[in-house]
Amino acid sequence: MICALCKEKEATKKNTHYLSDGVIRKCLNIGGTNERERGYYFDISNGNPFVEFNFQRIDEVNLEKGLGRPPTDEELENARKIPFSVDYVFCNTCEKSFTEFESKFSSDIIPKLRNVNLNQINHLNFEEVSLIRMFFYIQIWRNAICEEIFSLSPKVEEELRLIILNKQVKNINHFPLMITYLETLGGDMSFTENYVGSTSDRNPNVIFMNDFVVQFFDDIDYVKYNKFYGLNDEVDFKEFVNFEEEVFKVKVLSNIKRKELLSNIINTEKVKQTLSFLEKSFDLIWQRMFYGFPPIQIKQEYIHGIIGDDDFTVLKYSQKQIAEYTEKFIWDRIRR
């Protein structure tokens, strides 16, 4: 396979993190430590709302402790995988090019954000425009290459590839880019509350990288306010869109706001997933019993009996309670 960046050399590099390991590691690892291969991360896109996390690399003994039971073969297989990394997509030369910018970002930018008193500060200005943009362009482009749900337009993807390949540092500020730093207080353990992953949204393309959130737009004409669970504020939204800037502005979300954001995301997404899961499960049960799909009105009655007028009510029920309610609902219909 040919390297996705240079398109010349053979892609021989294994275990390339397409989201920089130095940024996301504290989020993925137990206790926020820098030790590799001993963490887990939340998976808010899981199809089963009663299964809340997948494991990173972790030994079988600790995996059993985390689950409270012996792991299944599938869970063991998942545990052997390192999330956000790929094999044989890039060559060693291009990997070194990535590392050059990532190391510079880690040494010059991160210390100005992490473990710094950001009380009453809603943004920071950085003169290192090219470094910041190049670092996040690498994240955005690699994520588009390696992550199935995340995509860029072919034109933008190719332009970013050439910028990264040629280590271009001038005239690269024509893509609207928003970076939010999530103030994370409380020691290393607090970093494990953050998320790592990306959405399937376009304009903006959104990536969560522990205490950094990236919002990338193809073109200035596509920039439009989106609350995004409280990440953005309509009052100052445009202020934090970096475009043809001379100084790069990073929005700072306070630790309290960070927790509100993460809570909003997990609750809203879990509500959607849970309701979808329940509807599909109800369809399946009804088909098995009556050899056909349930009438829409009956399915609406079933869901309304769980949530009433508040979708978030569904989160308070256990799997056992849902199963008991479902059984009673169907038998009540049979007896009518």
Specify whether the CB–CB gap between 24 and 15 falls below 8 A.
Answer: no
CA-to-CA separations, 178 to 38, 125, 216, 252, in angstroms, rounded: 31, 13, 6, 11
pLDDT of residue 148: 84
- Name the DSSP letter for residue 237: T
Tokens of 138: 């690498």
Indicate left, alpha or beta for 259 from its phi (over 0: left) and psi (-120 to 50: alpha): alpha
Strands 195-198 and 177-182: unpaired
- Summarize pLDDT for 107-126 with one digit per residue, the tens: 999 999 998 999 999 999 99
- The residue count for the chain: 336
Report pTM.
Answer: 0.76
CA-to-CA separations, 200 to 136, 150, 205, 206, in angstroms, rounded: 18, 5, 7, 8
- Reading the chain (336 residues) residue by residue, the pLDDT tens digits are 999 999 999 999 988 889 999 898 887 764 555 554 333 333 334 444 443 333 333 445 555 655 566 767 766 665 555 568 889 999 999 999 999 999 999 999 999 999 899 999 999 999 999 999 999 999 999 999 998 888 999 999 999 999 999 999 999 999 999 999 999 999 888 887 888 888 888 899 999 999 999 999 999 999 999 999 999 999 999 999 999 999 999 999 999 999 999 888 877 877 877 888 888 889 988 888 888 999 999 999 999 998 888 887 877 777 778 888 888 898 888 887
pLDDT of residue 56: 39
DSSP string, 257-312: HHHHHHHHHHHHHHHHHHHHHHHHHHHHHHHHHHSSPPPHHHHHHHHHHHHTT-GG
Tokens of 212: 């950094």
- From CA 232, how far away is CA 2, in angstroms rounded? 39
Ranges of beta strands (E only) in 8-58 are 16-17, 40-42, 53-55
Q: Closest Cα partner for 5 from 158, 168, 151?
A: 158
Cα distance between the two ends of the chain: 63
Helix/strand/coil percent split, the chain, to 5 = 50, 15, 40
